Structure 1
C-alpha cells in the first residue's frame, strides 16, 4: 500500500519514485523543511518513513530530487484528501464514516441524471457543499424518478474549467464541496433513497500541473515516455503509460478504491476511444503502428480488459460504462471483448439530434437515417446519452437544437425525449435538459431554474418524471434484446411516421411516432396482437402543455392486413408527438 497511514506513534508515508535521487516528506509538521524527514528507499523503488508528530489534518507533499538534481514538490498520488484549490498539498486523512445503507439492487430500468456538482444549484453564487447536495439534489432526483446520479469527475482536479476531466488526485474526492466523509454521507443518503451513484472516471489522460503526476520522480513514471503515446495534442494533457504494470495497477486500484471505500454503484470510463487508438487526434506522421502494423493501442486494450475483470470479479453488481464513440467491436462483450456492461450509443445520439434539427418538411428524405439506428441498436449493450457534451461549446441547449418556433421547439423536444424512452438502451439526461433551459450549460453558474415559472418548461419536466415512472413499471420498455423489439411500420416516410412494438413475454407496447408537422385523423396503426390497447402516454398531452386534450384511452383492434401485421387500431395523431399504447 502507498500513501499516508495514521498509526499510534505517528504517520507512515510511502511513495513510489524509483528514479528519484532522494525523497523527503514535508508538511505542517515540519514547516515544509526538506531536510527534516528524509525517506528511505527499498529495492523496488518505494520510499518510506515515519513522522512522529504528524497527525490527521496536516497538509503535506513529497520533496523529490531527480537524478539530475532537479527538485520537485509533489502531491501524494495516493492521497485520500487534498487542500482546497488553489492550494495543492495532500492532507493526512483517515475516514471515520460508517455506511448505514446497502447499495441499491441492480435493475433494468436504468435512468441516469448526469450532474456537475458545482453548477446544479449554488448558494448565493458559491458552491453547494456535499451536505447541501445531500439535502437538495437527492430529494430532487428521487422526486423525478431517476434511478442513478452520474457525477462528472469528482476526483481532485486543479482547474474548474476542466469540469474534473484533468485530474491530479485519483483517490481523493475534490475538497471543493467538503470532506471525504461528507461525500460518503452523500452516497449513503442516495442509497437510502434507492438511488445509485455512478462516477465519471478518467484513466485516459491526466493534468500537466507541476504538483501532479507528470514527471513525478524526474522521469516519465505515470505517462508514456514517448510523446506520441504519452501526450494528448487535442486536450493538452498527458496520457497514461498503459504498457506499465505499475500504471495499470495504479488505475485499477483507483477504480476499486471508489467502489469498495465509497460504495460507488458504477463507473463511467471517459475517453475510451482515445485510449484504444494510437492515431486518435493525430495526423499522419504523429504516430507509429503497433507490432502488428495497425493503429490499436494494445497496452490500453489489455488494461481495459483487466480493469473490467477485476471490478466484476469482486463487485458483480457494479456497472461499468464506456464512453466510446467508434465502431470498435466487443466493447460490452464479456468473453472476447473489453468487458464493459454498457457503452454510450453515440451513433443514436448524433443521428437523433440531427434528425430533430430538421424542419419537419425535410424529414421524409431523412427517414432512412432515422430507421438505420434500429439496425445497430443491438450491436452492444447501450446507454442513450443526451449528455453535457451536447450542450456546451456553442452546440446550443437541447431546446435550441429543435427546429421551429417556440411551440414547435417544445413539441419536438418532448418527442425526442419520448423517443429515447421508447428506444432500446438505458437512459441518460444531463441536468438542465429536463427543464428545457435555453442557455447552454456553463460550469461557472447554476442551472436556469427560473424557467420553471413558465408552463412549457414545467410540461417538459413533468413529462420526464412520468416517463421515468412508466419506464420503471413497464418491463417491455426495460429489456433491450432483439426479441424485445418488432417493427410495425417503417415505411411511412412521406408522413414521417414510424411504428414499432416493445415486447416482454406477453406484454406489448405499441409506439407511434408522428415526427411531421401535420395531424392525421383515423390513422391506421398496425399491431401484432388482437385486443384492446390502452393509451398510457402521449407526449402532446395537455398536461405537458401540449395540444391534445382528447380523453379517449382505450382502442380496440380490428382485423386488417397492413404489411406483416394482421390487426390495426385507429387513432388520431397530432403533430410532433409520440404515443405509447399498451396491450391489455
Structure 2
C-alpha cells in the first residue's frame, strides 16, 4: 500500500510538471474533482491567488475547507470525505488584489442547469462500447477518398416538445438518428455541446471545456448517442472553441486576479467582435488545458472529428475589431496561435490518426490542411468559405445578370485543390437577416425551389465534402431561430415535402456515385467541358472515378430558359443516359420522364471530337452517364 501511495504521489508530481511545460494532454486526470478512497480530491490551478476554499452543498458553502497550495505549480489541493456524487461545488478564490469571488471548476465534467454554473460531482458510468466495427472500419478508411455529407445541427432547436422544452440527447437518439439514415447523410455535426451559460451564443462562448451542457442531457446519454450513430454508420463531429471563452466574471476570466488563461496585453486578451476573452495560446498551461479538452472529447465520447471554430481569429493579430500590435517580426501573424494549432493537430493525429481535424477558417494567406512539415497548420479539412460566399451571391442574383458574374460559380475551380475542402452551407448563412437558403433564391416560390434543387446538386457535384444546415433540406423559408424548433409544419406543403425527398435522393445519389468522391484529392477528379458559356449561363463539366468509363457529365442551367437541342462535347463516341434531372415531377418539378439517351455525333466542340444534344430544363441540372461508349477513341 505504501508503494502504491508513493507511486500515486509521484504521478501527480509528474503531471504537474508536464502541465506547466505544456506537455500534459490528460490534465483532466488530475485537475478538477476526482473520487479517491472514501472521498474526493479537488485540485485547481490558480498560481497568484492568496487563498482558495472549496465550498459546496457538502459544507453549506462555508469557508471551512481551505485548500493547500503547491508553490512550484500554483495548484491548490484538498481531500474531503464530506462530498458525494451529485453535490454542487465551486472554489472561493481570494484573488491577487484581495478580492474574494466564487469561481467555477475549469475541469468540471458536469455543471448544474443554467442559469446556475456550479460544478456537479459526476462519475462517468462504466460503458462497454459496441462500436468496434465502426471504429475498425474508420481506421482502415481513407477519408479523402470516401463520401462525406454532413448534416449540421444545433441540438436544442432541431425539434422541441409541445411545451417548448428542447429534445434531450435521449430524444435525439430516438428521432434524429433514424432521420439521418432516412436522409442518407454520412455524418452529423453538432454546434458546440460544451457547457455555456447563454443560449444566444449558440454554444460558442464556453465555460466548461470538459463538460457536456446539462441543457442537453447527461454525458452518458451523449455516449449512447454516438454509439447509436456508429451502429447506424453515421459519424459524429463536434464544434469546439479553443480561441476565446465566456467573459462571465465567475468563470475563467482573470481566475486568480491576474491574466491566467488570457494574454497579459489587454488588447490581445479582449475579443471585441464577440464580447469574449482570448486564450493566451502561447502559455504552456493553456496548451495543456486545451489539448486535454480535445483529447477528452475524442476518448470519452468516441467522436469522429473536431471542427475548430474561428481559426482566423487565432492566427491573425489584426482579425479583431480593436487595436492590435504587430508581432516581433513586424507582421500580423499570431505566432502563438499558429504554433498552438500545429501542436494540437500533431498531438491528436499521433494518438488518433483516424479522427478528423476540421478548420473553420476564412482566409487564404495560411496553408491550413496537409502536412505540418510543409508549413501547414496540419488540419485534415478546411471549410471553403469563399465558395460558399460566391455561390450564394450568384444564386441570389436575378438571372439576367448572371452572365456578367459567371465567374462566381467557376472561380473555385482555380483553387479547389489548394486545400482539402468542405463545402459548407452552414448556420452562419441563415441568421442575422441573411434569410434562409430558400428565401435567398430569386423569383417566385416555384423558381425558388427549382434553384434550391439546382444549388444542392451543384454542391454535390463540385469537388469537396458537403455540409448542409438543418431545415435547409426541405427549404424552410424562415430564418433559423436558436430558441425555437425548426418549422416541421412546412412538410405539410407539397413543395417542401418534395424538396425533402429530393435532398434524401440526392444524398443517396452522391453516396453511390464513386466519380463524385473517389479521386477527390486530385485534379483528375474533374474535367471542364465548357465554363465559358456565359451568354446562356450554362456550366458543363465531368466528374471522374478511377475507371476510364466511370464518369458523369454535369449540365447546370442557371437561367429560367429551357435549353433545347443543347450541344456539348463528350470525350468518347457512344450513348449517354440521363440519370439525374432536378425538374422531375417527384421532386416538385414539371417533367414526367427523363430525356432520351443521347447518341454522340462526330463534331468539333472545343477539344472534343464528339458531341451530344439534349434538353436542359429551365433552372435545372441534368447528369448523364455513359451507357455504351468506345474508350479507345477520343
Both structures adopt the same fold (TM-score exceeding 0.5): yes
Contact 1:26 1:37 in 2 (8 A): no
Once the two structures are TM-superposed, the CA of residue 37 in structure 1 deviates from its matched residue by 4.2
Is 1:324 aligned to 2:361, yes or no? Answer: yes
Equivalent position of 2:157 in the other structure: 119
Equivalent position of 2:618 in the other structure: 575
Equivalent position of 1:424 in the other structure: 463
After superposition, what is the alpha-carbon deviation per residue over 1:63-97, rounded to whole angstroms, capped at 9, x for unaligned? 11112211121111111111000111011111114
2:551 to 481, 484, 508: 508
Distance 2:599 2:77 in 1: 77
1:79 to 92, 103, 108: 108
Contact 2:581 2:594 in 1 (8 A): no
* Structure 1 range deviating more: 490-499 or 530-539: 530-539
1:158 to 197, 221, 245: 197
Equivalent position of 2:11 in the other structure: none
Equivalent position of 1:27 in the other structure: 56
Contact 1:25 1:63 in 2 (8 A): yes
Is 1:138 aligned to 2:177, yes or no? Answer: yes
Distance 2:80 2:573 in 1: 78
Once the two structures are TM-superposed, the CA of residue 547 in structure 1 deviates from its matched residue by 1.9
1:69 to 98, 105, 127: 98
Equivalent position of 1:258 in the other structure: 297
Equivalent position of 2:393 in the other structure: 354
Secondary structure of the corresponding residue to residue 303 of structure 1: helix
Is 1:46 aligned to 2:53, yes or no? Answer: no
Secondary structure of the corresponding residue to residue 216 of structure 1: coil
Equivalent position of 2:26 in the other structure: none
Equivalent position of 1:545 in the other structure: 588
1:378 to 411, 417, 425: 417
2:120 to 91, 94, 108: 91
Secondary structure of the corresponding residue to residue 404 of structure 1: coil
* Structure 1 range deviating more: 523-532 or 535-544: 523-532
Secondary structure of the corresponding residue to residue 110 of structure 2: coil
Write out aligned runs for 1:275-286 (5 A). 275-282=314-321, 286=323
Equivalent position of 2:86 in the other structure: 57
Distance 1:20 1:419 in 2: 57
Once the two structures are TM-superposed, the CA of residue 368 in structure 1 deviates from its matched residue by 2.4
Contact 1:205 1:232 in 2 (8 A): yes
Secondary structure of the corresponding residue to residue 466 of structure 2: strand
Distance 1:82 1:39 in 2: 24
Distance 1:272 1:579 in 2: 37
Equivalent position of 1:101 in the other structure: 131
Distance 1:2 1:580 in 2: 57
Secondary structure of the corresponding residue to residue 127 of structure 1: coil
Once the two structures are TM-superposed, the CA of residue 159 in structure 1 deviates from its matched residue by 0.3
Secondary structure of the corresponding residue to residue 509 of structure 1: strand
Q: TM-score, normalization: structure 1?
A: 0.98
Q: TM-score, normalization: structure 2?
A: 0.90
Contact 1:6 1:56 in 2 (8 A): no
Give the length in aligned residue pairs.
Answer: 582
Once the two structures are TM-superposed, the CA of residue 210 in structure 1 deviates from its matched residue by 1.8
Contact 2:160 2:484 in 1 (8 A): yes
Once the two structures are TM-superposed, the CA of residue 36 in structure 1 deviates from its matched residue by 2.8
Equivalent position of 2:568 in the other structure: 525
Equivalent position of 1:231 in the other structure: 270
Cα distance change, pair 325–24 in 1 and its aligned pair in 2 (3 A):
same
Is 1:298 aligned to 2:335, yes or no? Answer: yes
